[in-house]
């Protein structure tokens, strides 16, 4: 593996920002993480394709990272290449007549929701207040356990390394609570959402109410990665962890939130090791008391060193 060769090949040769030893703490909502050996912010499809070809030739592993809102990066960093999508991937177009929104994977989810609202198109309200990009939201089927973004997908374009681009109809994909049937190695490039006409006032009232509920029940003022565990059927993880007496428990700069115990927040100076210790403590406590093996939905980056 030669990160240096990949850097020399890509630097200045493609439509992208190519950096060495870029701190991942700058690119995750936890504000935690050591350096990525290589960081590429691709501004075009061609730049992404050439980046992937070069990384493959040099044997460098890679990962696509949006806003890093569901990621815990290792304190030691990541030996591979982190790829971010920008430029062409940040395009968004709305057709009120066709009741559709076409969005690149790099578009902020909040922008997608707001543009649909402006066009009086309903269906994306469950995504209000969720951080991250459209690509990240689709890959984890963001939303609640009853409402999720995948239900509004008409079609999407996915780059499958080694096989090229493929367009999926929304109905071809199995969408579930925090899951999809899309290939794990696929890179979502673009999606078309089919929405419903509604009054702008009604949509705004719905989104405002949802946002107020989030703000009143979640610790949005401190860095976190959102929900740590998936809710088991008909149970609230936050309530389970709180009942084990762990709300407010801390390790170093990390703390299980007193506002919502399924959130672990960075109170300042938290390390990935601190967060992992609290994840383990919460998981083990719930397993011991209730026999429930909680599924962690935080993606770990750089821990296979």
Catalytic status, residue 297: yes
Q: Please choose, from the candidates 175, 159, 178, the residue with its C-alpha nearest in 3D space to the C-alpha of residue 89.
A: 159
CA distance 134 to 32: 22
Catalytic status, residue 44: no
**Catalytic residue selected from 178, 214, 230, 267:** 178
Residues whose CB falls within 8 Å of the CB of residue 8, separated by 6 or more in sequence, listed in order = none
Q: Chain-centre distance of CA 171, in angstroms? A: 22
Asked if 284 and 85 touch (Cβ cutoff 8 Å), the reply is no
Asked if 138 and 173 touch (Cβ cutoff 8 Å), the reply is no
Strands 264-266 vs 254-256: parallel, antiparallel or unpaired? antiparallel
Asked if 51 and 40 touch (Cβ cutoff 8 Å), the reply is yes
**Catalytic residue selected from 22, 88, 242, 297:** 297
Catalytic status, residue 178: yes
**Catalytic residue selected from 69, 139, 227, 257:** 227
Asked if 86 and 169 touch (Cβ cutoff 8 Å), the reply is no
Residues, the chain: 305
Please state, in angstroms and as integers, the Cα–Cα distance from residue 50 to each residue in 150, 234, 291, following that order: 29, 46, 48
Backbone torsions φ then ψ of 18, nearest 5 degrees: -120, 120
Asked if 283 and 276 touch (Cβ cutoff 8 Å), the reply is no
| Active-site residue list | 178, 227, 297
């Amino acid at each position: 593996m030669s990160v240096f060769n990949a850097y020399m090949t890509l630097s200045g040769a493609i439509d992208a920002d190519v950096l060495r030893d870029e701190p991942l703490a700058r690119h995750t909502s936890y504000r935690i993480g050591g350096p990525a050996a290589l960081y590429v912010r691709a501004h075009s499809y061609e730049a992404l394709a050439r980046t992937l070809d070069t990384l493959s030739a040099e044997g460098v592993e890679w990962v696509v990272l949006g806003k890093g809102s569901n990621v815990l990066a290792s304190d030691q960093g990541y030996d591979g290449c982190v790829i971010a999508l920008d430029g062409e991937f940040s395009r968004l177009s709305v057709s009120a007549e066709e009741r559709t929104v076409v969005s690149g994977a790099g578009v902020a989810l909040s922008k997608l929701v707001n543009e649909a609202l402006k066009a009086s198109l309903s269906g994306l309200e469950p995504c209000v207040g969720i951080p991250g990009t459209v690509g990240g939201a689709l890959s984890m089927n963001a939303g609640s356990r009853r409402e999720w973004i995948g239900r509004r997908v008409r079609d999407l374009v996915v780059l499958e390394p080694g096989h090229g681009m493929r367009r999926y109809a929304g109905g071809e994909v199995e969408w579930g609570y925090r899951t999809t049937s899309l290939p794990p190695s696929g890179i979502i490039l673009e999606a078309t959402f089919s929405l419903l006409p509604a009054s702008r006032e009604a949509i705004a009232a719905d989104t405002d109410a949802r946002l107020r509920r989030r703000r009143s029940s979640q610790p949005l003022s401190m860095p976190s990665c959102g929900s740590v565990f998936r809710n088991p059927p008909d149970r609230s993880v936050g309530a389970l962890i709180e009942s084990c007496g762990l709300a407010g428990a801390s390790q170093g700069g990390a703390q299980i939130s007193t506002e919502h115990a399924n959130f672990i927040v960075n109170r300042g100076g938290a390390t990935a090791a601190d967060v992992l210790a609290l994840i383990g403590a919460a998981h083990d406590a719930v397993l011991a008391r209730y026999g429930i093996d909680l599924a962690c939905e935080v993606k770990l980056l750089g821990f296979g060193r």
